[in-house]
Amino acid sequence: MTVAITPDSLMWIAHRPDIVFTEGEGSWLRDRDGKRYLDFVQGWAVNSLGHCPPQMRDALAAQAAKLVSVSPAFYNEPAMQLAQLLAQHSGLDKVFFTSTGAEANEGAIKLARKWGRMHRGGAFEIITFDNSFHGRTLATMSASGKPGWDSLFAPQVPGFPKAQLNDINSVEALITDNTVAVMLEPVQGEAGVIPATYEFMQALRELTTVRGLLLVVDEVQSGMGRCSALFAHQLSGIRPDIMTLGKGLGGGVPLGALLAREEVCCFEAGDQGGTYNGNPLMTAVGLAVLDTIAEPAFLAHIDARAAQLAAGLQRLVERHGLIGERGEGLLRALVLPGDVGADIVSRARELAPEGLLLNAPRPNLLRFMPALNVSETEVEQMLEMLDELLARVG
């Protein structure tokens, strides 16, 4: 007897469209009825090389045939190699691998608190920002500045006062003897693609250095080429003390990382760990992804597609009387004149014969997170589909 495959046994966590995806290739997905979708969400900026890229399939197959898991209590080659490469590209010294972005941020928070205990007289507060997003564990939800999250699952983890992005005085005003670090996304993603300005990043680096505080950048969404530079903070010419990665690093497999300057690394045996940290199967994929993205020609491709996307969105702004477009690299947003984001997202899915996947992180905003190797034709096709949708909604 065959039993129909239904979602009935999945725990309810969100409204999900009545679509079941079965296959993906590059920028395209196919559902179980055979309909194709152009994907400008890519697992939330996760599939940096698109769906099922050959590099990932090869790395997975080769590593799966050699070694899948040995526990972080032992060394393995892919983890050591990927750590070396990440250190080299970031200018940071040490790497701790995780499975998710939230877990990398938890590690960053623990490292900063431990450092504060050892070097700053027990200082533990980490200044974060209104509307920021750092993950869904209790501590990272507390660090996040998402409206409403301060009371959801109360009580919060204490120690995360909130400043305003791009307002250096709001940061300075929160510094006390208890402050140990400032943590931010170089481009706020879930808030609606809001870049920290060059001047703000420079001022923040200066302020934290002068006051003896750690600067932590959460590059879970903005890192790994998403914003044209390998890491978005490099656009403002600063070096952080701690950086976290996730999403695009694994290109679709669960892999995150916590990177830090040597002087900050103060974990003692037993302070930090986890069953899957530095799993060879995941780090082998991370290596294949990083090898591809870090190529200068690949970063130049991201730049070219980003310029094409930005110019195309700007044309739509003018043609349809929208508010504007913004972003860095291939993390972009279109600001709409009203709260029609969700409406456009669902109409985009329903387009025929081919659908389009978009995301609306805010009611009046569309976000674009295509594969970093998206083609010129695919960007053009997305813009044409969006043009048609905007004409209908407007």
Going by the annotation, the residues of the binding site for N(2)-acetyl-L-ornithine are 136
- At which residue do the structure tokens 């200068």 appear? 296
Q: Which of 76/188 has CB closer to ligand PLP?
A: 188
CB of 94 to ligand PLP, least distance (A): 20
Question: Residue from 24, 78, 186, 189 that binds ligand PLP (CB under 6 A)?
Answer: 189
* Site for ligand PLP contains 100 (CB under 6 A): yes
How many H helices and E strands in the chain?
11, 17
Q: Which of 122, 116, 156 is nearest to 140 (CA)?
A: 156
In the window 37-66, what residues touch ligand PLP (CB under 6 A)?
A: none
Identity of the residue, 120 or 326, whose beta carbon is nearer to ligand PLP in the bound complex: 326
Residue of 39, 106, 125, 185 interacting with ligand PLP (CB under 6 A): 185
Of the residues 37, 115, 133, 267, which one makes contact with ligand PLP according to CB under 6 A: 133
CB 258 within 8 A of CB 96: yes
User: Residues forming the annotated binding site?
Assistant: 101-102, 133, 136, 218-221, 275
Q: What's the CA gap between 345 and 357, in Å, rounded?
A: 7
Q: Which is nearer to ligand PLP, 100 or 208 (CB)?
A: 100
360's tokens:
């609306």
Nearest alpha carbon to residue 287 among 76, 69, 74: 76
Smallest distance, ligand PLP to C-beta of residue 281, A: 17
Tell me how crowded residue 74 is: count the other CB atoms within 10 A of its CB: 8
The 190-229 site mask, x for binding ligand PLP (CB under 6 A), equals ----------------------------x-xx--------
Q: Residue 350: CA atoms inside 13 Å, Cβ hemisphere, count?
A: 9
CA gap 198, 205 in Å, rounded: 11
By Cβ distance, which residue is nearest to ligand PLP? 101
| CA 74 to chain centroid | 29
Window 231 to 260, contacts with ligand PLP (CB under 6 A): 246-247
User: Which stretch, 101-109, 168-176, 234-242, 268-276, contacts ligand PLP (CB under 6 A)?
Assistant: 101-109
Q: Which range in 63-71, 94-102, 323-331, 364-372 contacts ligand PLP by CB under 6 A? A: 94-102
The binder of ligand PLP chosen from 50, 53, 135, 192 (CB under 6 A): 135
Sketch the per residue contact string, 10 through 39, with ligand PLP: x for CB under 6 A, - otherwise. Answer: ------------------------------
Which regions of the chain does DSSP assign to beta strands (E)? Answer: 21-25, 28-31, 36-39, 94-98, 125-129, 162-163, 179-184, 187-188, 194-195, 214-218, 242-245, 256-260, 324-328, 331-335, 354-357, 359-362, 365-368
Judged by CB under 6 A, the stretch of 33-41, 95-103, 176-184, 234-242 that binds ligand PLP is 95-103
Number of residues near ligand PLP (by CB under 6 A):
14
* Region binding ligand PLP by CB under 6 A among candidate stretches 133-141, 164-172, 273-281, 293-301: 133-141
What is the rounded CA–CA span in Å between residue 392 and residue 388? Answer: 6
Q: Which residues have a Cβ under 8 Å from the Cβ of 222 and sit 6 or more positions away? A: 185, 186, 187, 189, 231, 232, 328, 331
Cβ(259)–Cβ(94) below 8 Å: yes
Q: Is 325 in the site for ligand PLP (CB under 6 A)?
A: no
Examine residue 328 and tell whether it contacts ligand PLP (CB under 6 A): no
Query: CA-CA distance, 78 to 279, in Å (whole number)?
Result: 8
C-alpha 6/C-alpha 3 separation (Å) is: 9
Chain positions contacting ligand PLP, by CB under 6 A: 100-102, 105, 133-135, 185, 189, 218, 220-221, 246-247
